[in-house]
Structure 1
Amino acid sequence: MKKFAAGLIAVAMSVTMLAGCGVPANTVHSVDDLEGKTIGVQLGTTGDIYAEDVKDAKVEKYNKGADAVQALKQGKIDAVIIDAEPAKVFVEKNDDLEILDEPFAEEEYAIAMKLDNTELQTAVNGALKELKADGTLDAIKANYVGENAGKNPYKSPDNVSRDKGTLVMATNAEFPPYESKENDKVVGIDADMMQAVCDKLGYELKIDDMAFDSIISAVQSGKADVGVAGMTVTPDREKNVLFSDTYTSSSQVIIVRKK
């Protein structure tokens, strides 16, 4: 009888654990399934903010999105809430993960500046308007997302003036394809977009890589002129920084294990 009972227990355990690796089976198949689960997020992101509103959920906060994804693979958490484009990059590299079809939230990205720097806001908005109109912003995104990725990198026009000095951009290079590190250089959609903005306005661009939750403080203190890191406009952030017009739209999505 003891052997029979032990066999039943083993069978029951196999239903909830992936064979041979001790990782719990996925139980998150929709947004509603997040209730009461353990959710991984990148510290200070909108995923972090939104996850706190999920009923009875435990939110585990990581310095990097990649760390949250690794915890998911190891079975330490049940799901990851993160922006759509980085989510696609992570899933492409991990065939045991998938993105749920239902988005968690829709959002818009903008450039953060010091609250009183309306002069820079006006200038940046003007540059963004021109870059949208001439197709440059679409071309920059297409170089990182889709079937033509990597084929048409952004190049600064010849003889661009840099008479305005240096513009410092604070970012967190853990958010591909918006920003990541390549041979110690920050690359991505946001880096190229800000280079294009600086080309329009006459600045030399300098990029400072830091923790995501340090970016707004860097802008407030004047350590950086702008914060650009796939940053969503939220009411709380608008109390601390000035935002440009939207330069792209995205969504928060849910990554889960396939099994």
Structure 2
Amino acid sequence: MKKLTALALGTVMAVSMTAGVSAATVESKDDLKNATIGVQLGTTGDIEASEYEKDGATVKRYSKGSEAIQALLAGQIDCVIIDSQPAQKFVENADGLKILDEPFVEEEYAICLKKGNDELLDKINGALEELKEDGTVDDIMNNYIGDNIGETPYESPEDVDRSNGTLIMATNAEFEPYEYREGDAIVGIDADIAQAICDKLGYELEIDDMEFDAILAAVQSGKADFGAAGMTVTEDRLESVDFTDTYANASQVIIVKAD
């Protein structure tokens, strides 16, 4: 697995230790009302953390999760709220951080599509169901998470007919292990699941990397056919896009500095 140097953790020590220093102690969700919270803009963590602003919390929004981690290490914020799997990678690769035991919120990941694109929605749901039943989704997950990382890589069948054209996937490749960069390639759970879906449906896959908060707009406008970026199904998002069936369960967690 690629270390989080690709997410700019190597620049952490260059961040000023004096600018905007925060000092609240966060030991549970109850402490968030007095805290300065770092989140990635437009994510579930951003949406859920916003609820604490009315209680006196300050929410600082960053374009990338790695930027929020840098700010936490620099003492500029008190905690970071982010998805559990990327959180584990951040903590593994940066000294002095820990994840609180209590999950912040449980969530479900799904693929988003433009509202009314029912034909493609039905096709993707059908492919997802087949990939779940034959164990492909589990193998993809296990290849990136758990005790057998790297042992079950997804490979496209040799005889795939791609005559149906190309599907464009919008993502944000700053979210290991769901999507991240290895050299020029975007890899990860979502990239592999999307490739497996396209293989089932007879499409080429093209991945368009963008800021997370631009994904919904890209799908709505037709710039992308679907979005996959560890995206949680929420009532707000359902107002602007449709979602496929769930393909993964996850949670938001709180990262703080270790004692």
2:10 aligned residue? none
**Structure 1 counterpart of 2:63:** 63
Report whether the alignment pairs 1:128 with 2:159. Answer: no
Structure 1 residue 95: Cα displacement: 2.6
Q: 2:160 is matched by which residue type in structure 1?
A: V
Q: Distance in 1 between matches of 2:48 and 2:74?
A: 23
Does the 8 Å contact 1:169/1:226 carry over to 2? yes
CA distance in 2, matches of 1:212, 1:24: 26
Alignment-derived partner of residue 245 in structure 1: 245
Partner of 2:148: 148
Whether contact under 8 Å (2:23, 2:78) holds in the other structure is no
Q: Is the contact between residue 161 and residue 203 of structure 2 (CA under 8 Å) also seen in structure 1?
A: yes
- Percent identity, aligned pairs only, is 62
- Count, aligned residues: 239
2:43 to 32, 42, 45: 45
Q: Partner amino acid for 1:52?
A: S
Structure 1 residue 26: Cα displacement:
6.7
Counterpart in the other structure of 2:26? 28
Q: 1:167-246 alignment to 2 at 5 Å? A: 167-246=167-246
| 1:179-200 deviation line (CA, Å, top 9, x unaligned) | 0011011100000000000011
CA contact (8 A) 1:40 1:59 kept: yes
Q: Partner amino acid for 1:220?
A: Q
Q: Distance in 2 between matches of 1:255 and 1:164?
A: 44
Amino acid at match of 2:236: D
1:6-21 correspondence to structure 2 within 5 Å: none
Q: Secondary structure at the match of 2:254?
A: strand
2:62 maps to amino acid: Y
Task: Name the structure 2 match of 1:77.
Answer: 77
Asked if the contact 2:115/2:242 (under 8 Å) is kept, the reply is yes
Give the 3 Å change call, closer, same or farther, for CA 164–53 of structure 1 in structure 2.
same
Cα distance in structure 2, aligned partners of 1:82 and 1:151? 27
How far apart are the structure 2 equivalents of 1:180 and 1:28?
Answer: 29
SS of the residue aligned with 1:39?
Answer: strand
The alignment's C-alpha RMSD in Å is 1.2
Q: Is the 8 A contact 1:68 1:80 kept in 2?
A: yes
- The offset of 1:25, in angstroms, is 6.6
CA distance in 2, matches of 1:216, 1:94: 31
Is the CA contact (8 Å cut-off) linking 2:24 and 2:35 kept in structure 1?
no
TM-score (norm 1): 0.90
Give the distance between the partners of 1:151 and 1:157, measured in 2 at CA.
18
1:113 corresponds to: 113
Deviations 1:108-150 (Å, cap 9, x if unpaired)?
0000001010000100000000011111001001111112112
Equivalent pair of 1:26/1:257 in contact (CA under 8 Å): no
Large movers: runs of 4+ above 4 Å? 21-26
**Which of the two has higher C-alpha Rg?**
1
User: 1:70-128 CA deviation, whole Å, 9 max, x = no partner?
Assistant: 10000000000000000000000013100000000000000000101000010000000
Q: Which runs of 5+ in 1 are unaligned?
A: 1-20
AA aligned to 2:33 is E
Q: Hey, what does 1:160 align to over in structure 2?
A: 160
Deviations 1:150-175 (A, max 9, x none): 22211001110101100000000000
Distance 2:162 2:197 in 1: 12
Is 1:257 paired with 2:257?
yes
User: Aligned to 1:69, what secondary structure does the other structure show?
Assistant: helix
Letter in 2 for 1:174: E
For 1:113 and 1:24, how far apart are their aligned partners in 2?
Answer: 39
- What residue in structure 1 maps to residue 13 of structure 2? none
